[in-house]
Chain A
Amino acid sequence: AQTVTQSQPEMSVQEAETVTLSCTYDTSENNYYLFWYKQPPSRQMILVIRQEAYKQQNATENRFSVNFQKAAKSFSLKISDSQLGDTAMYFCAFSATSGTYKYIFGTGTRLKVLA
């Protein structure tokens, strides 16, 4: 069975600074996707970034980038130039490419960006 672990329940960062959120996972699958989702106070889940396991290059989306270490089963999210609107819960998620597209979520990290 797959598991996703986020070891940082809460974090804070000053506006314009950089912050890194950690995520580790465990799986025996060879092919899978990893995701970071943002859940603001509205509770709408928003995709931040995704990474395909077979791609060695780390994914980047504007101010968001990941550090994907497949051997270590680590998938951290770096937010650069943090903005007040980045304040939200962030969930790391795993989806194997075999089976039913089921997502496994980590417990989440509550990020607060301070003015």
Chain B
Amino acid sequence: GAVVSQHPSWVICKSGTSVKIECRSLDFQATTMFWYRQFPKQSLMLMATSNEGSKATYEQGVEKDKFLINHASLTLSTLTVTSAHPEDSSFYICSASRGYTEAFFGQGTRLTVV
């Protein structure tokens, strides 16, 4: 199957700083990528849809100024958590779709804000 690489796997940052998470599709071009947030023992909550060359589409309740998404190329999408606070600590997962038949997921990033 296709490979989606997410980096970093884990990050600890101080409250008030910004953190960037990268999501790369290594062997296919992804016009659309997705960013999810997962709380402990809970499901994946879709945060936003990242579209190459255009603005991201955010789900209701997700602060677009807090979670900045950039999809600058067909193989890279980034999620920047700006002015992070402890409540932003979570597990973030990206995925890239190759049509409707399957989504490929990154390994996830565990963010801890102290």
Residues of A within 8 A of B (CB): 33, 35, 42-45, 47, 50, 91, 95, 97, 100-108, 110
Contacts and interface: CB of A to CB of B under 8 A. Distances in A.
B103 A108 contact: no
Contact of B34 (A47, A103, A107): A103
Interface residues of B, number: 23
- 5 smallest A-B Cβ distances: which pairs? A45-B105, A101-B97, A107-B43, A105-B44, A97-B100
A101 B99 contact: yes
Given A50-B102, A95-B100, A103 B95 contact: yes
Contacts, number: 50
Interface of B: 1, 32, 34, 38, 41-44, 46, 49, 57, 91, 93, 95, 97, 99-103, 105, 107-108
B9 to A, nearest CB: 10
A108 B91 contact: no
A103 B103 contact: yes
Contacts of A50: 101-102
Contacts of B95: 45, 103
Nearest to A52: B101
B44 A102 contact: no
Given A43-B108, A97-B100, A100-B57, A108 B42 contact: yes
Contacts of B99: 101
Contacts of A102: 34, 46, 49
Contacts of A105: 43-44
A44 B46 contact: no
Contacts of B38: 43
30 contacts: A33-B100, A35-B102, A42-B107, A43-B93, A43-B107, A43-B108, A44-B105, A44-B107, A45-B93, A45-B105, A47-B1, A50-B101, A50-B102, A95-B103, A97-B100, A100-B32, A100-B49, A101-B32, A101-B97, A101-B99, A101-B100, A101-B103, A102-B34, A102-B46, A102-B49, A103-B34, A103-B103, A105-B43, A107-B43, A110-B41
